A and B are shown apart, each in its own frame.
Chain A
Amino acid sequence: MSLDEKQLAAHLSVIGNVPKTANLRTALGMKIRAWWPYYLMLLPGLVYFIVFHYYPIYQAKLAFEDFRIFGDNLWVGTKHFETLFDSRAFFQVLANTLIISAMKMAFVFPVPILLALLINEVRASGLRRFIQSAIYLPHFLSWVVIAGIFIAALSPSSGVVNEIRGWAGLSPRGFMTESGSIRWVVVFSEMWRSAGWDSLLYFAAIMAIDPQLYDAAEMDGANRWQKIINVTLPGITPTIATLFILNVGLFMNAGFDQVFNLANDAVRDQIDIIDTYVYRIGLQSGQFSLATAAGLFKGVIGMVLIVAAHTISKRLTGKGVW
């Protein structure tokens, strides 16, 4: 569902990324005539995927129907899609989705790379572990909690940010309720939550760089920065490329949980994205068909993007998205 999960999986795959042992081919399988116990083990999972992932695809036909509370729905073809593409509201949420994703790409994406480079320069391992333990934490907090933390920290009356602004003689601002600042709150809260944790991926890539390369650079008289630019950065370029492509693949997921919890009536038009729009018009206003159409539109674009990302990544780095 969320960007998050996919990034978690990307992290997890780092652990799994050990060379395959050669003896997979040892023909244990030959000795097992009946595979039925394995199919029995697969069964509950397969039933789950059919019911909760494939059946909803069939249910998405609602996008082409008028919803009836009683009796069968009426087939109306592309009516709801036409309504959608005619509505200014939809283009607003589409634009917001793209803008927020692009802002995150520009301002959040580079931060973990920088963090990993800096962490790598900390020689004392105890201090390094302390820094890492602290900055990974927010990744495991829910967006409800993070929204609560940001509301408190950005509060005009008692928040720490406005208190610091006060030292400089600046008057307090309600960052959460001003349309000029809310997108930056989205960007910054994303950074607060995931920059630390994402740096782990790059840090793992740095750790995998052959130490001899550093030794060689040192012999050539390279200083710290020259080593970073000539050894470390090239070493993590494939990881940067893979994650950049993955992020492009997930461009339509601007962050439902985040926007849903940070939004309020004063700023909704600035950060309402397709996902929150689907929730609002579907589950709150009961326009089920229109909401399904919007969701389906996003699903199809998302599918194209992620498949393209996978193909490109596979071709460039030899590693796909899955």
Chain B
Amino acid sequence: MARANSTRFERLEQTIIVSSLLLMVVITVQPILNLLAVSFSDPAQVPSMSGLAVTPSGFSTDVWMLLLSHPGVQRGMLNSVFITVTGTILNVTFTALMAWALSRPRLPGRRILFVFVLATIVFEPGLIPDYFVVRELGLLNTYWAVILYKLVNAWYLIILIRFFEEVPGELLEAAELDGANAFQTLWKVVLPLTMPALATITLFYLVYHWNEFLRPMIYLTDSAMHPLQVVLRKFVLEGDKSSMVGVAAMTNYQGAGQISSRALNAGMIMLTILPILAVYPLILKFFTKGTMSGALKG
């Protein structure tokens, strides 16, 4: 009897736990789904739409058509893709090269080089000195100013070094005996063995570049060079609708007149999230699985 009571009590506990977690899920996801729903709704019905709605009122792709056909948005997307792809390739290349060299336990000067890198994490002189350096190098208003910032992220570098150190010494030795040079050993032995770590770091650099808005805002004064985040910021936060959507685009697009700023904002936010949603399954795959197995092994 007491036993049956405790199971019923346990079931109640379980229900409370699961429902409070599901409430968290709703709080996390609902605001995003609402914006998605608003962006695909019939523009005429948007003003009366509930903030709770997760399905479109009516259906229309007008908002997306307007945004995607707008030169400013197109430009922003191209800039974002260019900065993200170029930046990530350079990030991963130079982080991996540096990590490989620093993972060799007998590299002369290894300790000093570690301190040299760690010191940059500990002390950061701030935004203004960074700005003056970029200016002095003549990089203002070039994509390089944005791409080169955080070229090698010290934290990711340290993590990658740890992974490279785990590669069994015999494998490296065997590669050496086969006549492989330092580059070949890295390429043929170390990188294939550390793919999950490399993939994780690649994804984080990707997300970092895609999400970065401050440096482009500061370093790129020419708005034609601005990535999507900066366009979004001007659009949603600074409320710069007229120059963003532009009179030309407004009149070019039939029915644009009745599209509310609420719908445009929603569409613009969703457009900016889209690439993150696209790589999110990969992040979950590489990162959370890696974390779990690492924890289990440890």
Least Cβ–Cβ distance between B157 and chain A, in angstroms: 8
Closest to A122 in B: B18
Closest to B281 in A: A133
Tell which of B17, B120, B165, B297 touches A121, judged by Cβ atoms closer than 8 Å: B17
Docked pose: A127 CA to B21 CA in angstroms: 10
Q: Could you say which residues of chain B place their CB within 8 Å of the CB of A56?
A: 125-126, 129-130, 132-133
Please tell me if the beta carbons of A299 and B24 are within 8 angstroms of each other in the complex.
no
Please report which residues of chain A, range 1-39, place their CB below 8 angstroms from some CB of chain B when the two chains form the complex: 1, 5-6, 8-9, 11-21, 23-32, 35, 37-39
Please tell me if the beta carbons of A23 and B168 are within 8 angstroms of each other in the complex.
yes
Asked if B81 lies at the interface with its beta carbon under 8 angstroms from chain A, I say no
Given known pairs A204-B291, A224-B13, A307-B122, the reply for A138 and B28 (CB within 8 Å) is yes
Please tell me if the beta carbons of B162 and A141 are within 8 angstroms of each other in the complex.
no
Asked if A135 lies at the interface with its beta carbon under 8 angstroms from chain B, I say yes
Given known pairs A37-B182, A144-B237, the reply for A18 and B125 (CB within 8 Å) is no
Given known pairs A261-B237, A299-B123, the reply for A48 and B94 (CB within 8 Å) is yes
Docked pose: A59 CA to B149 CA in angstroms: 16
Given known pairs A62-B128, A192-B28, A282-B127, the reply for A20 and B204 (CB within 8 Å) is no
Please tell me if the beta carbons of A283 and B170 are within 8 angstroms of each other in the complex.
no
Least Cβ–Cβ distance between A51 and chain B, in angstroms: 7
Q: Could you say which residues of chain B place their CB within 8 Å of the CB of A148?
A: 232, 236-237, 265, 268-269
Least Cβ–Cβ distance between B80 and chain A, in angstroms: 11
Please tell me if the beta carbons of B108 and A144 are within 8 angstroms of each other in the complex.
no
Given known pairs A6-B155, A163-B50, the reply for A208 and B129 (CB within 8 Å) is no
Docked pose: A25 CA to B106 CA in angstroms: 9
Q: Could you say which residues of chain A place their CB within 8 Å of the CB of B58?
A: none
Least Cβ–Cβ distance between A47 and chain B, in angstroms: 9
Asked if A44 lies at the interface with its beta carbon under 8 angstroms from chain B, I say yes
Tell which of A45, A204, A307 touches B95, judged by Cβ atoms closer than 8 Å: A45
Q: Could you say which residues of chain A place their CB within 8 Å of the CB of B65?
A: none
Stretch at the interface among A85-93, A102-110, A151-159: A151-159
Asked if A179 lies at the interface with its beta carbon under 8 angstroms from chain B, I say no
Stretch at the interface among B66-74, B206-214, B241-249, B250-258: B206-214
Please tell me if the beta carbons of A26 and B169 are within 8 angstroms of each other in the complex.
yes
Asked if A207 lies at the interface with its beta carbon under 8 angstroms from chain B, I say yes
Please tell me if the beta carbons of B126 and A42 are within 8 angstroms of each other in the complex.
no
Least Cβ–Cβ distance between B232 and chain A, in angstroms: 5
Least Cβ–Cβ distance between A78 and chain B, in angstroms: 17
Closest to A39 in B: B101
Docked pose: A205 CA to B295 CA in angstroms: 7
Please tell me if the beta carbons of A141 and B31 are within 8 angstroms of each other in the complex.
no
Report the interface size class on chain A.
Answer: 35 or more
Q: Could you say which residues of chain B place their CB within 8 Å of the CB of A134?
A: 25, 28-29
Please report which residues of chain B, range 123-176, place their CB below 8 angstroms from some CB of chain A when the two chains form the complex: 123-133, 136-137, 148-153, 155-159, 162-163, 165-166, 168-170, 172-173, 176
Q: Could you say which residues of chain B place their CB within 8 Å of the CB of A45?
A: 94-95, 97-98, 151-152, 157
Please tell me if the beta carbons of A28 and B173 are within 8 angstroms of each other in the complex.
yes
Least Cβ–Cβ distance between B267 and chain A, in angstroms: 11
Docked pose: A163 CA to B163 CA in angstroms: 50
Please report which residues of chain A, range 36-72, place their CB below 8 angstroms from some CB of chain B when the two chains form the complex: 37-39, 41-42, 44-46, 48-49, 51-57, 59-60, 62
Given known pairs A38-B101, A131-B21, A136-B284, the reply for A291 and B128 (CB within 8 Å) is yes
Closest to B166 in A: A21
Docked pose: A278 CA to B35 CA in angstroms: 33
Please tell me if the beta carbons of B29 and A131 are within 8 angstroms of each other in the complex.
no
Q: Could you say which residues of chain B place their CB within 8 Å of the CB of A208?
A: 295-296, 298
Q: Could you say which residues of chain A place their CB within 8 Å of the CB of B125?
A: 56-57, 59-60, 292, 295-296, 299
Given known pairs A24-B169, A204-B294, the reply for A278 and B127 (CB within 8 Å) is yes
Docked pose: A152 CA to B39 CA in angstroms: 12
Please tell me if the beta carbons of B31 and A160 are within 8 angstroms of each other in the complex.
yes
Q: Could you say which residues of chain B place their CB within 8 Å of the CB of A149?
A: 31-32, 35, 269
Q: Which residue of A17, A138, A145 has the most chain B CB atoms within 10 A of its CB atom? A: A145
Asked if B202 lies at the interface with its beta carbon under 8 angstroms from chain A, I say no
Q: Could you say which residues of chain A place their CB within 8 Å of the CB of B27?
A: 192
Q: Which residue of A27, A30, A123, A137 has the most chain B CB atoms within 10 A of its CB atom? A: A137
Tell which of B128, B158, B197 touches A283, judged by Cβ atoms closer than 8 Å: B128
Please tell me if the beta carbons of B149 and A145 are within 8 angstroms of each other in the complex.
no
Asked if A79 lies at the interface with its beta carbon under 8 angstroms from chain B, I say no
Q: Could you say which residues of chain A place their CB within 8 Å of the CB of B191?
A: none
Tell which of A5, A145, A155, A283 touches B273, judged by Cβ atoms closer than 8 Å: A145
Least Cβ–Cβ distance between B105 and chain A, in angstroms: 5
Asked if A119 lies at the interface with its beta carbon under 8 angstroms from chain B, I say yes
Docked pose: A43 CA to B151 CA in angstroms: 13
Docked pose: A148 CA to B239 CA in angstroms: 11
Least Cβ–Cβ distance between B260 and chain A, in angstroms: 10
Least Cβ–Cβ distance between B32 and chain A, in angstroms: 7
Please tell me if the beta carbons of A15 and B173 are within 8 angstroms of each other in the complex.
no
Docked pose: A32 CA to B155 CA in angstroms: 28
Closest to A27 in B: B106
Docked pose: A28 CA to B175 CA in angstroms: 10
Docked pose: A299 CA to B296 CA in angstroms: 38
6 contacts between A and B (CB under 8 A): A23-B169, A52-B130, A205-B295, A207-B295, A283-B131, A299-B123
Question: With contacts A137-B29, A298-B126 known, what are 20 further pairs, Cβ within 8 A?
Answer: A8-B204, A9-B159, A12-B155, A12-B201, A14-B291, A37-B182, A42-B97, A45-B98, A45-B152, A54-B120, A59-B125, A123-B14, A134-B25, A136-B284, A140-B211, A145-B211, A204-B295, A205-B295, A208-B296, A256-B214
Of all A-B residue pairs in the complex, the 3 with the closest CB atoms, nearest first, are A295-B126, A29-B106, A160-B51
